């Protein structure tokens, strides 16, 4: 996660840093993404990146969390509405996610690249991590719908979230 020095940057500089770093990781897989290129485009010394993040992996995971949060914030609008059933809500979630991808191609491409990453010693199993995060997200939605009486109490939420 970012160091305090990154969080102390003014919003415009932070946003520019995130934009350029996302562009690099959207163009290249993790292994081929270059902190040198990010630094050059930001017109800063590469060492400055290490003032903001521990290493490339730290930056990558921050960007992954940032992109996922942006997408979830976009999808959260769906939950402000009432739906006749879970499946209607799920359809609206899918539509909101697709709309986010169309309106935010950089985030979409970066998140797609994450799904394509191979398991590595450095990153671990990203596919498993993102699946677990997705399951947790959907499990929370399902719990809410179960509490609202939309989904029966005897339904296995883990199985539904996995499916």
Write out pLDDT tens, residues 122-146.
Answer: 777 767 777 787 778 778 878 887 8
Whether the Cβ atoms of residue 71 and residue 111 lie closer than 8 Å to each other? yes
Inter-CA distances, 64 with 21, 43, 61, 71, Å:
11, 23, 5, 11
> Model confidence over 15-58: pLDDT tens digits?
999 999 999 999 999 999 999 999 999 999 999 999 999 999 99
3-state secondary structure of 72: helix
Tokens of 156: 């296995």
Whether the Cβ atoms of residue 2 and residue 52 lie closer than 8 Å to each other? yes
Say whether pTM exceeds 0.85: no
Question: Does position 150 have pLDDT exceeding 80, yes or no?
Answer: no
Whether the Cβ atoms of residue 139 and residue 157 lie closer than 8 Å to each other? yes
> Model confidence over 87-111: pLDDT tens digits?
888 899 899 999 999 999 999 999 9
pLDDT of residue 163: 58
pLDDT of residue 156: 84
> Model confidence over 55-92: pLDDT tens digits?
999 999 999 999 999 998 998 888 788 888 778 888 99
Residues 6+ apart with CB under 8 A from 112: none
Set out the domains of the chain in order of their start, with CATH numbers.
4-124 (1.10.357.10)
């Amino acid at each position: 996660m970012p160091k305090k020095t990154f969080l102390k940057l003014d919003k415009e500089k932070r946003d520019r840093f995130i934009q350029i770093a996302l562009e690099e990781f959207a163009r290249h897989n993790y292994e081929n993404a270059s902190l040198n290129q990010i630094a050059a485009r930001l017109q800063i010394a590469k060492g400055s990146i290490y003032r903001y993040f521990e290493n490339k992996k730290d930056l990558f995971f921050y960007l992954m969390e940032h992109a996922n949060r942006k997408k979830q914030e976009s999808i959260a609008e769906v939950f402000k509405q009432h739906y006749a059933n879970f499946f209607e809500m799920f359809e609206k979630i899918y539509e909101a996610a697709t709309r986010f991808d169309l309106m935010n191609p950089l985030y979409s491409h970066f998140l797609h690249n994450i799904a394509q990453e191979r398991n590595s010693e450095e990153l671990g199993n990203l596919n498993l991590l993102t699946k677990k995060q997705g399951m947790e997200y959907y499990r929370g939605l399902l719990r809410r719908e179960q509490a609202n009486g939309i989904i029966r109490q005897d339904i296995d939420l883990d199985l539904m979230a996995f499916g």
